């Protein structure tokens, strides 16, 4: 006799996938805010490719294998995580929902995964960390930093992060200046009244005096460079140092040479230089150059559990998502972030089971094919 039908794990009647979440969340946001979150830079080529580039890969499933004990867990930043996903550091989350980064942190903690804290968060490191630790004392946070003109402030941020138990610095290396963001200029995008950047010690008053672009220029040091900044960071902190924004074999080798702990293959969600490759297309050359000598994570355009699977098969150890967390917040605060993480988890686990993978280590290059000839980014 057939058993009872297995219910589909649907937590919300409107949201079945991440694209549903994007659509419903976007309806709730005013134009300027929606465009700030959802846009890429200049001609929107890279943001488009970040998601669509996944489509050229095909999964090669192995069948008739016992997948009843499929285990999605892995490790990230020195601890066991329930599955290989984290929330990337994205600023201004309280514009999507008043609970902002605190809600994101709690949702990540409950799901047993890690989170990056943007230096442009609307809550303090202490508030974000303690919200997560209350739900999962083992939770890890990475502190995202920019290279700053004000070294004293940069150091204070590092000390805050250490005091609160952050494990790693994600040094964002792709932003000596901001990308060309026509939407922000057209809409004269400003941080809404009442929101501050406490980690940067900027209150709401200070922020409103200038545009997003001007304020970024005023604190960020476009003289940043490998030989000045990485040894300095090493000399002042014992936290791991990760470079966020690597897209080439050359910079992967540079990160190894400078003794960094990891790289995050990222193009800032297509918000910095438009026309750079999709991260899934940049990943293979970084993995090949690294040859196992440095940890490699990836973010940008990951919108399904199968996208995560493809990134892992191409050699990333762990995936991060930015906008999906913001859409979760905008849709339903902390519950919306739960819904987002559950969606990724369910899709990823099913993808593993349907390909015959019982552990994350089983996800290898052999699990993938391409539908058309494909090689690393060709050089002219
Ligand atoms: C609204 C928004 C704000 C962001 N703020 C930061 C930031 O403060 N620092 C940073 O390193 N990256 C920032 N990012 C980039 C994310 O960390 C991440 O690289 C990107 O969102 C990943 O792409 P995805 O949104 O397609 O998942 C931001 C992204 C968005 C969408
Ligand atoms: O917009 C971004 O991509 C970003 O990095 C940022 C910077 C300052 C405040 C909020 C987000």
Write the secondary structure of 155-190 as one string of H (helix), E (strand) and C (coil). HHHHHHHHHCCCCEEEEECCCCCCCCCHHHHHCCCC
CA of 67 to the centre of ligand 2 (A): 41
Residue 225 CA: distances (Å) to CA of 176, 231, 248: 10, 10, 16
Average pLDDT over residues 372-378: 61
Number of domains in the chain: 1
Active site residues: 268
Is the C-beta atom of 120 inside 6 A of ligand 1?
yes
Q: Compute how many other C-beta atoms are within 10 angstroms of the C-beta atom of residue 257.
A: 10
Residue 1 has what pLDDT? 44
Tracing tokens 């830079």 back to the chain, one arrives at 41
| Rounded Cα–Cα distance for residues 81 and 112 (Å) | 5
Position 375 confidence tier, pLDDT thresholds 50, 70, 90: low
Assigned domain for 109 exists: yes
Give the residue whose CA is nearest to atom 20 of ligand 1. 269
Whether 221 is in a domain gets the answer: yes
In a domain, 4, yes or no: no
Across all residues in the chain, what is the average pLDDT? 95
Residue 373: per-residue pLDDT: 58
pLDDT greater than 50 at residue 279: yes
Does residue 22 sit within a domain? Answer: no
Q: What mean pLDDT comes out for the span 97-112? A: 98
pLDDT of residue 127: 98
Query: By residue range, what is the domain housing residue 141?
Result: 29-360
Residues of the chain above pLDDT 70, percent: 95
Q: Does 130 fall in a domain? A: yes
DSSP helix/strand/coil, 371: coil
Helix (H/G/I), strand (E/B), else coil: 132: helix
Which of 152-161, 279-288, 337-346, 369-378 is predicted least confidently? 369-378
Any domain includes 377: no
The response to whether residue 112 sits with its C-beta less than 6 Å from ligand 1 reads no
Domain CATH code at residue 64: 3.20.20.70
Q: Which two tokens stand for residue 315?
A: 């050699």
The pLDDT of 94-115, averaged and rounded, is 98
How does pLDDT run across 149-175, given as a tens digit for each residue?
A: 999 999 999 999 999 999 999 999 999
Of the listed ligands, the closest to the CA of 344 is: 1
Residue of 118, 147, 197, 327 best suited for mutating to test ligand 1, as the one with most atoms within 8 Å of CB: 118
Cβ of 181 below 6 Å from ligand 2 = no
Q: What is the pTM of this model?
A: 0.96
């Amino acid at each position: 006799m057939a058993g009872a039908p297995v219910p589909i794990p649907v937590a919300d009647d409107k949201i079945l996938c991440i694209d549903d979440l994007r659509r419903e969340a976007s309806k709730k946001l005013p134009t300027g805010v929606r465009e700030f979150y959802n846009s890429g830079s200049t001609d929107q080529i890279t943001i488009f490719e970040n998601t669509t580039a996944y489509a050229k890969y095909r999964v090669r499933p192995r069948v008739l294998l016992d997948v009843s004990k499929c285990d999605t867990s892995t490790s990230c930043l020195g601890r066991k995580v329930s599955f290989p996903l984290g929330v990337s550091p994205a600023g201004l989350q309280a514009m999507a929902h008043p609970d902002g980064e605190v809600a994101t942190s709690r949702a990540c903690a409950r799901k047993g995964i890690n989170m990056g804290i943007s230096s442009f968060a609307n809550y303090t490191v202490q508030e974000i960390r303690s919200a997560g630790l209350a739900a999962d004392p083992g939770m890890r946070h990475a502190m995202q930093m920019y290279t700053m003109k004000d070294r004293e402030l940069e150091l204070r941020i590092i000390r805050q992060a250490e005091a609160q138990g952050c494990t790693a610095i994600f040094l964002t290396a792709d932003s000596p200046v901001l990308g060309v963001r026509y939407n922000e200029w057209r809409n004269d995008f400003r941080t809404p009244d009442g929101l501050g950047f406490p980690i940067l010690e900027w209150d709401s008053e200070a922020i409103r005096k200038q545009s997003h672009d001007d304020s970024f220029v005023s604190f960020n040091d476009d003289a940043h460079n490998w030989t000045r900044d990485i040894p300095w960071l090493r000399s002042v902190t014992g936290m791991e140092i990760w470079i966020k924004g690597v897209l080439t074999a050359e910079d992967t080798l540079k990160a190894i040479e400078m003794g960094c702990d990891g790289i995050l293959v990222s193009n800032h969600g297509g918000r910095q230089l438009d026309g750079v490759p999709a991260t899934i297309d940049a990943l293979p050359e970084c993995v090949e150059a690294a040859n196992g000598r440095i940890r490699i994570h990836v973010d940008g355009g990951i919108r399904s559990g199968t996208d995560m699977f493809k990134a892992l098969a191409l050699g990333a150890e762990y995936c991060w998502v930015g906008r999906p967390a913001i859409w979760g917040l905008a849709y339903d605060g902390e519950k919306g972030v739960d819904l987002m993480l559950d969606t990724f988890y369910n899709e990823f686990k099913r993808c593993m089971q349907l390909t015959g993978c019982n552990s994350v280590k089983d996800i290898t290059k052999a699990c993938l094919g391409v539908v058309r000839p494909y090689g690393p980014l060709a050089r002219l």
